[in-house]
Chain A
């Protein structure tokens, strides 16, 4: 199956007072139609910047430079998103690729009714009259499981709970039946029970509409629940990519292992005084990244004569499993 979205060698550089900062480099991945790809990583690993680069929502040229290729299988044939004029991109945003965000409270305009904000998206892509758009907004609210949708459409964001607000965001994203939904930590700000409901909703919508989802999160529990494949990012690069099951069962990159180890587990309750295993150190400052392996300073497996000299490339381990580590063969044993 050909990919719905194909990202190749994506790099993002921000201009700052102290020179250019590379937020992202050499990022390549693809998403098939109807698939869910999770992107996992710590804060500032480049997950959100990747998403914003695909949507072309990063600041314009001199402040931020985006290079690489992003190919998307649009309704009217393949398009290259980075080469698209802004006018055409407006139609892609929300029309073919939709995005939802972490904080549903601040992501909705406080002075407009929910229904109106959804209707706006309908009008922008489907056309038609205001009344029809509002009717469709109510249908969408109903679709995402908001009870009494007609009345809720007349609510303002502050009158809804966090879970309801995120459902409204999802309704807005679905306004013109996009083929790809980018969800940037959509459950991070929500209670655990609400989190599960939102994940269920996304899975149900995916089954009903064949939507592909890029799910950005730092929560590996969520990854296990929802993703077909998972991409691990560290310090602006992809460091491991694999089908979720094999990634969780047999991670090869020491960073992925560290992430998995630092998830608190019920069956391995800590003794009093025992500390949760954590990865020592911090993500390197993007302005002073090691020239060699970026994870090497924090890595238990690091060998200075190998890992401190050259930066490893992505290597294919199995058919769908790629890893960026010089010592994966020893780790795999």
Chain B
């Protein structure tokens, strides 16, 4: 187990290196640059711009810039934002909890509803409920997140005035109820795609397990249908779902980016978009690395959980 973990961590570090190289290269390939912010300042001369570029190290060849960034990163220095000179890690630290709150709540919501819908579809295969679930999932997968976000804002905030249209809390009101009211819409919007995917996978996993010999054995020994579902079908059908949960993490992060933007949610997604607009290289790179680390940790956790739940699998 310890050896396995070490080798997985080694692999992850290598992957992070690759991600950082590709991310860094892509970022510098995009047109415009941090200097375009200053170029609009009145009274700015070419010589001034050149001096700023030199101070920021932007006149160095790209590989050198990358190595400098990497060298600092390895020493724990994630750099400072071009915008306000705040340390990158502090900025991300401010925005991370909001994103985690959104992602965790929407994942819990999606897993509960998705599992339930998937199992129901499988147990009542070819029923009206099953067809509705199938159509619902197709619709949910086809709806763009930003559009769905705007629609729910129009309905629940603008027309019905039930829920706030954005933000994480009303200023000056930190009550749990207020937080929850702000969370509902973005959480539902972000959960939609996950519910659709999760319920489809859950349906096929349940059908697959329900046809296994050991389920017939469970019936033959006189267990009640509810017991068979819980102890024998669900327990085994959840195994492939653990892997799916790990694989879905990047999709979820991407969805969070869109949902946070629509709902002005002060999380990493919106920070990413804002920083990208300013060509705030250190912050964008920092966010990229944090997302990559979260994804790798998620997948590693999924693999370890798999071993916990499936006695046949041993890590080596």
Binding site for B on A (CB under 8 A): 55, 57, 90-95, 98-99, 101, 103, 106-112, 120-121, 124-125, 156, 158, 169, 172-173, 175
Q: Does B218 contact A (CB under 8 A)?
A: yes
Query: Do the beta carbons of B222 and A124 come within 8 Å of each other?
Result: yes
Query: Do the beta carbons of A107 and B222 come within 8 Å of each other?
Result: no
Q: Which residues of B contact A101 (CB under 8 A)?
A: 213, 216-217, 220
> Of B216, B219, B222, B236, which is within 8 A of A110 by CB?
B236
Q: Provided the pairs A107-B214, A109-B232 are in contact, do residues A57 and B219 lie with their beta carbons within 8 angstroms?
A: yes
> Of B212, B221, B227, which is within 8 A of A93 by CB?
B221
Query: Do the beta carbons of B221 and A124 come within 8 Å of each other?
Result: yes
Nearest chain B CB to A162's CB is how many angstroms away? 14
Q: Which residues of B contact A169 (CB under 8 A)?
A: 217
Query: Do the beta carbons of A107 and B311 come within 8 Å of each other?
Result: no
Per-residue interface assignment for chain B, residues 261 to 287, with 1 indicating a CB less than 8 Å from any chain A CB and 0 otherwise: 000000000000000000000000000
Query: Do the beta carbons of A112 and B224 come within 8 Å of each other?
Result: no
Can you list 23 A-B contacts (CB < 8 A)?
Answer: A57-B216, A57-B219, A57-B220, A90-B223, A92-B222, A93-B219, A94-B220, A101-B220, A106-B213, A107-B214, A107-B217, A108-B217, A109-B217, A109-B232, A109-B235, A109-B236, A110-B310, A112-B231, A120-B218, A124-B221, A124-B223, A124-B224, A175-B221
Once bound together, how far apart are the Cα atoms of A110 and B235, in whole Å? 10
Nearest chain A CB to B207's CB is how many angstroms away? 14
Q: Which residues of B contact A106 (CB under 8 A)?
A: 212-214
Q: Does B309 contact A (CB under 8 A)?
A: yes
Query: Do the beta carbons of A156 and B231 come within 8 Å of each other?
Result: no
Q: Which residues of A contact B309 (CB under 8 A)?
A: 111
Q: Which residues of B contact A172 (CB under 8 A)?
A: 217, 221
Once bound together, how far apart are the Cα atoms of A124 and B218, in whole Å? 11
Once bound together, how far apart are the Cα atoms of A203 and B309, in whole Å? 38
Once bound together, how far apart are the Cα atoms of A98 and B213, in whole Å? 15
Count A-B contacts at CB 8 Å. Answer: 78
Query: Do the beta carbons of A55 and B220 come within 8 Å of each other?
Result: yes
Q: Which residues of B contact A109 (CB under 8 A)?
A: 214, 217-218, 232, 235-236
Q: Does B3 contact A (CB under 8 A)?
A: no
Size category, B interface: 20 to 34
> Of A93, A110, A124, A156, which is within 8 A of B214 by CB?
A110
Nearest chain A CB to B231's CB is how many angstroms away? 7
Q: Provided the pairs A109-B232, A156-B312, A158-B311 are in contact, do residues A121 and B216 lie with their beta carbons within 8 angstroms?
A: no
Q: Provided the pairs A111-B235, A158-B312 are in contact, do residues A121 and B221 lie with their beta carbons within 8 angstroms?
A: yes
Most buried by B among A94, A169, A173: A94
> Of A57, A90, A95, A173, which is within 8 A of B224 by CB?
A90
Nearest chain A CB to B238's CB is how many angstroms away? 10
- In the A-B complex, the 8 residue pairs with the smallest Cβ-Cβ separation, listed nearest first, are A94-B222, A94-B221, A106-B213, A93-B222, A121-B221, A109-B214, A156-B311, A99-B220
Binding site for A on B (CB under 8 A): 212-214, 216-224, 227, 231-232, 235-236, 239, 309-312
Nearest chain A CB to B309's CB is how many angstroms away? 7
Nearest chain A CB to B102's CB is how many angstroms away? 33
Nearest chain B CB to A155's CB is how many angstroms away? 9
Q: Which residues of B contact A108 (CB under 8 A)?
A: 214, 217
> Of B216, B217, B219, B236, which is within 8 A of A111 by CB?
B236
> Of A91, A98, A99, A110, which is within 8 A of B311 by CB?
A110
Q: Which residues of B contact A103 (CB under 8 A)?
A: 213
Once bound together, how far apart are the Cα atoms of A91 and B224, in whole Å? 9
Query: Do the beta carbons of A98 and B220 come within 8 Å of each other?
Result: yes
Query: Do the beta carbons of B235 and A120 come within 8 Å of each other?
Result: no
Most buried by B among A92, A98, A124: A124
Q: Which residues of B contact A94 (CB under 8 A)?
A: 220-223
Q: Which residues of A contact B213 (CB under 8 A)?
A: 101, 103, 106-107
CB closest residue in chain B, given A103: B213
Once bound together, how far apart are the Cα atoms of A106 and B312, in whole Å? 13
CB closest residue in chain A, given B239: A111
Nearest chain A CB to B301's CB is how many angstroms away? 19
CB closest residue in chain A, given B213: A106
Q: Which residues of B contact A90 (CB under 8 A)?
A: 222-224
Q: Which residues of A contact B212 (CB under 8 A)?
A: 106
Once bound together, how far apart are the Cα atoms of A91 and B212, in whole Å? 22
Once bound together, how far apart are the Cα atoms of A108 and B232, in whole Å? 10
Q: Which residues of B contact A99 (CB under 8 A)?
A: 220
Query: Do the beta carbons of A110 and B312 come within 8 Å of each other?
Result: yes
Q: Which residues of B contact A107 (CB under 8 A)?
A: 213-214, 216-217
Query: Do the beta carbons of A95 and B222 come within 8 Å of each other?
Result: yes
Once bound together, how far apart are the Cα atoms of A106 and B232, in whole Å? 13
Once bound together, how far apart are the Cα atoms of A125 and B222, in whole Å? 8
CB closest residue in chain A, given B311: A156
Nearest chain B CB to A203's CB is how many angstroms away? 22
CB closest residue in chain A, given B212: A106
Query: Do the beta carbons of A93 and B220 come within 8 Å of each other?
Result: yes
Q: Which residues of A contact B217 (CB under 8 A)?
A: 101, 107-109, 169, 172
Q: Which residues of A contact B310 (CB under 8 A)?
A: 110-111
Nearest chain A CB to B124's CB is how many angstroms away? 12
Q: Which residues of A contact B232 (CB under 8 A)?
A: 109
CB closest residue in chain B, given A159: B311
Nearest chain A CB to B21's CB is how many angstroms away? 41
Beyond contacts A94-B220, A108-B214, A158-B311: 5 other A-B pairs, Cβ-Cβ < 8 A, are: A90-B223, A93-B220, A109-B235, A120-B227, A124-B224
Once bound together, how far apart are the Cα atoms of A156 and B235, in whole Å? 15
Once bound together, how far apart are the Cα atoms of A94 and B236, in whole Å? 22
Q: Which residues of A contact B216 (CB under 8 A)?
A: 57, 101, 107
Nearest chain A CB to B41's CB is how many angstroms away? 65
Once bound together, how far apart are the Cα atoms of A169 and B217, in whole Å? 9
